[in-house]
Chains A and B, each alone.
Chain A
Amino acid sequence: MSQHSFRDTHAVCTERFAIELPSPDELVIALAGNPNTGKSTVFNALTGMNQHTGNWAGKTVGSAIGRFRHQEHSFTLVDLPGTYSLLSQSADEQVARDFICFANPHATLVVTDATNLERNLNLALQVMEVTDRVVVAVNLMDEAKRKGITIDFVKLQAELGVPVIPMTARSGEGLNELKEMLWKVALGHVTPTPKLTTYSEQVERAVTALLPQVEPLVSGVLRSRWVALRLLDGDESVLQALEQYTLEHPRLFSTGDVVIPS
């Protein structure tokens, strides 16, 4: 399965999502997370005053674009609406899903709340099904400490298969480590290998049965396993989005005519 598709992040961001990128070398990072995880604090900590609220794609609550520099590189951080899931079809969730799926950001940062990983990892697992280039930030470490919660980060990283950075955004703790990791993942110096969720037997069987039919249809645009799962889900909005994005911008999303590096 290919991760780095040929799809041009810059072209999609500027043409479809109306996000201005200052230079062709700009690295685009999507910022996802549940509501109330301090996601905006992470956004503010990363970008400082260098941000503005945008209205990209025409429908998102207070989405913002911010910039920061690290290792001589300029990053554009796109703050997605806070969602519990990429599955449940509210406008917010679709905006988040569509950006991660179709804008092909150089990395997706999933912010989680250290005091409530049980709820938050759900979204991280879902994002990992869409893209490999995921970094998980475990925010609010100060509160977790105060509450006496301890987290085995070595193990957590091993279980997820993607980089996990503990941090406290409001004090700036872990900020540099996070920037460093985003930089590494965005440029491919670190290649995350997500450990995907293995579903129950009946689901897996159905997915396996679907894959041969789905693979040739979506390869190069979306992960076929993820699409197969959405078909089983009956999530029509995914197909609508696929139709919308690929037909409106055929140049940006074409399959079959380009060899995809794997």
Chain B
Amino acid sequence: MKQGQIQQLKNLMQNLQQQDTTDLRDQIVSDIYARTEEIVTQTVMLPENKAQHEFDRRLDNVLTSRWLGYPIMMLMLGTVFYLTIAGANLPSSMLADFFFWIEGYLTTFFLWLGTPAWVHGVLVEGLYRGTAWVVSVMLPPMAIFFPAFAILEDFGYLPRVAFNLDRFFKKAGAHGKQALTMSMGFGCNAAGVIACRIIESPRERTIAIITNNFVPCNGRFPTLITLATLFMGGAIGLAYGSLVATAVVVGLVLVGISVTLSVSWLLSKTMLRGIPSNFTLELPPYRKPQFGRLLIRSVYDRTVFVLKRAVIVAAPAGIATWILANIQVGDASILQHTALFLDPFAQAIGLDGYILMAFILGLPANEIVLPILIMSYLSTGAMTEMSSLVELKNLFLSNGWTWLTALCMMLFSLLHYPCGTTMWTIAKETKSTKWTLVAILLPTSIALSVCFLVAQTVRFFGLV
């Protein structure tokens, strides 16, 4: 086909458009529907009673009800997190026990081989330990969270969430479907950013892309869950520990949603001004989730996929951290020097130099922030063996942590810049350096301000 031929077609269309063809266009669509109706009338026999419609209607009367709609939403979210937190505890510590039991044998093996100490350091204390932590901290919550979430998805509940929340998104100048893309972000922000393609208007799509980062992804949940369990759950008797930790995580998610709405509002009043575009959302019939297939798919597609990515990134990061922690310059390692350098600034926002550095080194993937932090602390010689969550907490405490440190780290994790993969995805999706930069700088400055305010306020009132 040649340029000339296309030009002729364009001319043809232009000529047609000069006449008013709205009628004709409507007619084309109406005719297709008329044809469909004709076929359906001839071939489909509908029953007299509409039991299924009734069932859906009654369920929707509850799930999107004026009074119960929002509480049920919170309850569902809470239940999923509670199951994840309470259910992941035991397998997490079992996995950790298992991996560190293996580590003992690995060490023996390397001693037997007679390799130099640094080989053992890089491979076992760096690579193996980093990977082991990622797997044992991340695998159990993911293996629970993904299927649980997939059940809600398959059942048809997520569009109801978008339906319930649309009013708020509209007020914020954003699209109701943003609730759906946020749901995807719970799994992975990069996936959430790609999912923003379901929003047709470029303005609202850009808003959704920039703010997707404020829902904690699977790489950040383990950090939030672990810290909530250690510092917020443990404070009260064990029986309610998981419930309190759940409440904290749900609270953080709500903070994330509020920030999403505020930032969306801000953007739609400033850089992305405009009227909200058309909104059509289908509420599909409720379907019985297919538990078996769901379980397989969510483990196979999401859990293994995310874990693989985490391990691939965590392994080299483990090596890098070990090297940084073990090359001495003067009286301290590079890691210690850097942490010391960052410390005053980090303290001002409630963190410490090691935490801030872990976030910086964790840029490739949020999954590795906590492992890097643990490795950094370990390399300072505070402790040599890791096997349980209690010891993990002791490690943090011995590095001067309080509940405020945990809270600020959680807030920073929730609000800070997106991970490397997500940044790259944003650049690809927006095809704009400007929006990519906004998507990086905006969350970062919000994270810094929020942590600064929280830390200073708490300290001012002498709460820690």
Q: What total of chain A residues lie within 8 Å of the partner, measured CB to CB?
A: 64
Does A234 contact B25, Cβ atoms closer than 8 Å? yes
> Does A208 sit within 8 A of B, measured CB to CB?
no
Binary flags per residue of A25-47, CB closer than 8 Å to B gives 1, else 0? 00000000001100001001000
Q: Are A156 and B31 in contact (CB under 8 A)?
A: no
Q: Is residue A101 within 8 Å, beta carbon to beta carbon, of the partner chain?
A: no
Interface of chain A residues 221 through 262 with chain B (CB within 8 A): 221, 227, 229, 231-234, 236, 239, 242-243, 246-247, 250, 253-255
> Is B6 on the interface with A (CB-CB < 8 A)?
yes
Chain B residues near A41: list those with CB within 8 A.
290
Q: How far is the CA of A49 from the CA of B293 in the complex (A)?
A: 11
In the bound complex, CA of A155 to CA of B43 (Å): 6
B12 touches A214 (CB 8 A): yes
- Residue-by-residue, is B151-178 near A (CB-CB < 8 Å gives 1, otherwise 0)? 0000010000000000000000000000
B238 at the interface (CB under 8 A from A): no
Could you tell me if A115 and B285 are in contact, using CB atoms closer than 8 angstroms? Answer: yes
A40 to chain B, nearest CB (A): 9
Contact B10 A199 (CB under 8 A): no
How far, in whole Å, are A213 and B15 apart by their CA atoms in the complex?
A: 13
When C-beta atoms are compared, the residue in chain B nearest to A160 turns out to be B39
Which residues of B are found within 8 Å of A126, using beta-carbon distances? 32
Cα distance, A155 to B42, chains bound together (Å): 8
Question: A87 to B25, alpha carbons, bound, how many Å?
Answer: 11
Is residue A18 contacting chain B, with contact meaning CB distance below 8 A?
no
B297 touches A122 (CB 8 A): no
Alpha-carbon distance between A210 and B39 when the two chains are bound, in angstroms: 28
A239 CB contact (under 8 Å) in B9, B25, B39: B9
B35 on the A face (CB < 8 A): yes
B6:A231 contact, CB within 8 angstroms: no
> Counting CB contacts under 8 A, is B384 at the interface?
no
Pairwise interchain contact B32-A36, C-beta atoms closer than 8 A: no
Minimum distance in angstroms from B280 CB to a CB of chain A? 10
CB-nearest residue of chain A relative to B205? A91
Q: Is the CB–CB distance between B32 and A122 below 8 Å? A: yes
- B contact face: mostly helix, strand, loop, or mixed: helix
Which one, A92, A150, A246, contacts B1 given CB within 8 A? A246
Q: Mark B23-44, 1 if CB is under 8 A from A, else 0.
A: 1110111111101110110111
Q: Within 8 Å of chain B (Cβ to Cβ): is A22?
A: no
> Chain A interface: which of B79-87, B192-200, B443-451?
B192-200
How many Å lie between the Cα of A152 and that of B41 in the bound state? 10
B45-53, B322-330, B334-342, B355-363: which lies at the A interface? Answer: B45-53
Given the contacts A147-B52, A214-B12, A90 and B6 also touching, CB distance less than 8 Å: no
A260 CB to closest chain B CB (Å) equals 14
B281-294 CB contact bits vs A (8 Å, 1 = yes)? 01011010010010
Find residues 134-156 in chain A having any chain B CB closer than 8 Å to their own CB: 143, 146-153, 155-156
Residue from the set B24, B47, B293 with the largest chain A CB neighbour count within 10 Å: B24
Residue in A49, A197, A250 whose beta carbon sits within 8 Å of that of B31 in the complex: A197
- Measured between alpha carbons, how far is A151 from B197 in the docked complex, in Å? 36
For A170, what are the chain B residues with a Cβ–Cβ distance below 8 Å? 290, 293
Contacts of B44 in A (CB 8 A): 117-118, 149-152
Among the listed A60, A217, A229, which residue makes an inter-chain contact with B9, where contact means beta carbons less than 8 Å apart?
A217
Contacts of B36 in A (CB 8 A): 117-118, 121-122, 125
**B8:A217 contact, CB within 8 angstroms:** yes
Q: How many residues of B are counted as interface, with CB atoms below 8 angstroms from the partner's CB atoms? A: 51
With A35-B282, A170-B293, A214-B9 known as contacts, the answer to whether A203 contacts B28 (CB < 8 A) is: yes
Contact B47 A213, beta carbon cutoff 8 Å? no
The reply to whether A239 and B40 form a contact with Cβ atoms under 8 Å apart is: no
Q: Shortest Cβ distance from A211 into chain B, in angstroms?
A: 11
Smallest CB gap from A122: residue in B: B36
Q: Is there a chain B Cβ closer than 8 Å to A190's Cβ?
A: no
Q: B52 near A146 (CB under 8 angstroms)? A: yes
Known contacts A118-B36, A206-B24, A217-B5; A234 and B43 CB within 8 A of each other: no
16 cross-chain CB contacts under 8 A: A61-B198, A62-B194, A90-B200, A151-B44, A159-B43, A197-B32, A200-B27, A214-B9, A227-B9, A231-B9, A232-B21, A232-B24, A239-B6, A242-B6, A242-B9, A243-B3
Which positions in A face B, CB cutoff 8 Å? 35-36, 41, 44, 49, 53, 59-62, 87, 90-92, 115, 117-118, 121-122, 125-126, 143, 146-153, 155-156, 159-160, 170, 197-200, 202-203, 206, 210, 213-214, 217-218, 221, 227, 229, 231-234, 236, 239, 242-243, 246-247, 250, 253-255
Chain B residues close to A by CB (< 8 Å): 1, 3, 5-6, 8-10, 12-13, 16-17, 21, 23-25, 27-33, 35-37, 39-40, 42-47, 49, 51-52, 156, 194-195, 197-198, 200, 282, 284-285, 287, 290, 293, 297, 300-301
A44-B293, A117-B43, A221-B1 given; name 5 further pairs at CB < 8 Å: A61-B194, A92-B197, A153-B43, A197-B32, A227-B9
